[in-house]
Chains A and B, each alone.
Chain A
Amino acid sequence: MSYRLSLLLLVMAGLVVAFAPLPVQPITPQERTFEIDAHQFAYSPSELHVNPGDTVTIQLISTDVVHGLYVDGYDISVEADPGQSATLTFVADKPGSFRFRCNVTCGAMHPFMIGKITVGTNDWLYRSIGLASLAVIGFFPLSSFLNQSKKKDERNIAS
């Protein structure tokens, strides 16, 4: 098998690992409510798991200063005053793992006040580890091609 064909096969396998649709088990959407305490500089709980299609209600309770909660990927947010609560409701229709973070400057470590919501399974993580595995597996035959061609070049130069 030539180097180019091996490379092409590897790239195609990579595309399959990255983008091939996975079988989805149908799960009846539910209403999920989470009460999240926000304090400098953390959320509690800081990791949420819901199923795709769930209607998620987050009740944000700020226990010290004003805090916000912005969900990456969904581009939605809510703000809660000190000692008050505020509610954010949305349909978790985008699967994957998303950071949620404070969007109101709340102190020094504000940029790192981060939580995580996973909708369904974190497919992209598994796909990424699959791509890394594929890269390592495919690396050995490709590098042996490269080494052979380098040696051939060196022999040609020597002769």
Chain B
Amino acid sequence: MNRIELTRIPFIKNTLKSRYPQLAVFIVMLVGYIFAILAGLIGTPVGSHNFSIVFVWIAWWAILILVAVPFFGRGWCAVCPIPLPGEWLQRGAVLAPPDKRPKWLNLRVPKMFRNIWMQNISFLLLALFSSVLLTTPNITGIVLAAMLFAAIGLSAIFERRAFCRYLCPVGGFIGLYSQTAPIELRIKDKQVCVKCEGKPCYNGSDAGYGCPWDVFPGGMTKNTFCGLCMECIRTCPHDNIAINLRPFSADLAKPSTRMDEAFKAFIMLGSAIIYAGVLLGPWGSFKDAAYNVGSGAWFIYATVFLATIFIVLPGLFTLGIMTTKGRQSLKQRFMSLSTALIPLGLMFWVAFSLSFVLTNASYILAALSDPLGLGWNLFGTANAAWQPMLTTILAPAQTLALVVGLVWSARTAQKVNEAGASTIPVIVYCFVATSIMLWLLL
């Protein structure tokens, strides 16, 4: 399947080029985000009746992992409200034409931080406390506020969207999995970019700002770091930027060459397995350990969590690929073959989230009518009874997701593997991981 350029359709192109539709979505999102913070801080402490828990961890999470990431890649980043206040302060404007003089320090992020290790660490920090975070409204409120202020602080110190690019705990895995999405922003003709003077897509012009994600579109070959903010569509003087519909996982034919991205794949794979066991399994002692932060049991849980992600999963993977011969070094093979774990991890998260979301989605109606748990009944649904949804199709849907993920990963392993080397160890690894996930979920 060849690419279909969506920006050839005038309506789509004009909508993306204009700042007003995006601003309208931004404002709705920002209002919702600030309301989630307030609900977390002043609303009922009962998580299942608080807007912050229900709308962030059930509604938003469902949309993100079941729709936005698989089909739109970084589509969420395109409308995420977290960087907005910082970016507006950094620019000194919301919609006004860019002023070349920096309003704040405008420093470049130090080279040692220009990778996704900080995002790996920030995700793991949240993951280790996730049982409390997912269930306690004021903790969710504090974390959401902290992310907003961290984004403002980093915008004041560094140029562009340093928070999104290097620190956001969600942005790291969205970037990783956006490589599988059937949508991309790419240039149309490389020669046009080569000859283009001033590179306004990166440096900005009177028409718009330089890439907030610190990416030069002319050199972009993967979705990973493109936030789909559409700024380059506005600034390109040659109409050389396109939004394309493409086959799923087109980026995965190009193997990963970075250790931070390789470990991101293990972090996401391991977290999905551990969550499936701890949160959705029948073992109460695991839940106690995960919830009682600071207790001895929690330290054991945290140690097992980190050991699984940093030692057990990558260690077994390395042992597997050591059994095959290849021209590349073991480190290169580790990084490139870890690309095969990206679709598997995505489908693990889809299968895990299906269970969590379908079971708890009925809380959305009640929280909509009484978002703070104060006894309101705005839409007459405040007393909607809890009822799991679609439980009869849950198990087949999870099996389908996991088996599709397994085949997708096997195919990816073949694509990224060097000629002549065997992919059997990687496929066996994926099969064993899938079987464990099936056992935990079914």
Do A41 and B402 form a contact, CB below 8 Å, given A73-B391, A124-B442, A139-B410?
Answer: no
Interface: B360 (CB within 8 A): yes
Q: Contact partner of A133 among B135, B279, B386, B431, CB < 8 A?
A: B431
Q: Contact partner of A136 among B287, B288, B410, CB < 8 A?
A: B410
How many whole Å from B356's CB to the nearest CB in chain A? 8
A111:B48 contact, CB within 8 angstroms: yes
> Size range of the interface on A?
35 or more
The residue in chain B whose Cβ has the minimal distance to the Cβ of A129 is: B435
Interface: B131 (CB within 8 A): yes
Task: Report chain A residues within 8 Å CB of B434.
Answer: 132
Interface: A46 (CB within 8 A): yes
From A51-59, A78-86, A97-105, the one touching the partner chain is: A97-105
A128:B386 contact, CB within 8 angstroms: no
Task: Please encode chain A, from 97 to 139, with 1 for each CB lying within 8 Å of some chain B CB and 0 for all others.
Answer: 1010101010011111111100000101101110111011001
Interface: B403 (CB within 8 A): yes
Interface: B49 (CB within 8 A): yes
B283:A139 contact, CB within 8 angstroms: no
CA distance A73 to B399 in the complex (A): 17
CA distance A109 to B7 in the complex (A): 46
A109:B435 contact, CB within 8 angstroms: no
8 Å CB contacts to A: which residues of B248-304? 279-285, 287-288, 291
CA distance A139 to B411 in the complex (A): 8
Interface: B47 (CB within 8 A): yes
B431:A105 contact, CB within 8 angstroms: no
B285:A42 contact, CB within 8 angstroms: yes
Task: Report chain A residues within 8 Å CB of B396.
Answer: 124
Number of interface residues of B (CB under 8 A): 42
Task: Report chain A residues within 8 Å CB of B438.
Answer: 125, 128-129, 132
Q: Contact partner of B48 among A43, A105, A136, A143, CB < 8 A?
A: A105
A139:B407 contact, CB within 8 angstroms: yes
| Prevailing SS type, chain B contact patch | helix
CA distance A77 to B281 in the complex (A): 19
A132:B406 contact, CB within 8 angstroms: yes
The residue in chain B whose Cβ has the minimal distance to the Cβ of A101 is: B359
Task: Report chain A residues within 8 Å CB of B411.
Answer: 139, 143
Interface: A153 (CB within 8 A): no
8 Å CB contacts to A: which residues of B390-442? 391-392, 395-396, 399, 402-403, 406-407, 410-411, 414, 427, 431, 434-435, 438-439, 442
How many whole Å from A58's CB to the nearest CB in chain B? 14
Task: Report chain B residues within 8 Å CB of A139.
Answer: 407, 410-411, 427
CA distance A50 to B201 in the complex (A): 65
B283:A46 contact, CB within 8 angstroms: yes
Interface: B388 (CB within 8 A): yes
A111:B360 contact, CB within 8 angstroms: yes
A132:B442 contact, CB within 8 angstroms: no
Do A109 and B135 form a contact, CB below 8 Å, given A131-B403, A132-B435?
Answer: yes
CA distance A73 to B287 in the complex (A): 24
Query: B-side interface residues toward A, CB under 8 Å?
Result: 46-49, 131-132, 135-136, 279-285, 287-288, 291, 356, 359-360, 386, 388, 391-392, 395-396, 399, 402-403, 406-407, 410-411, 414, 427, 431, 434-435, 438-439, 442
A-B contact pairs, 15 of them (CB 8 A): A42-B283, A72-B388, A96-B395, A108-B135, A110-B135, A111-B359, A116-B282, A124-B396, A125-B438, A128-B442, A131-B399, A132-B431, A132-B438, A135-B407, A143-B410
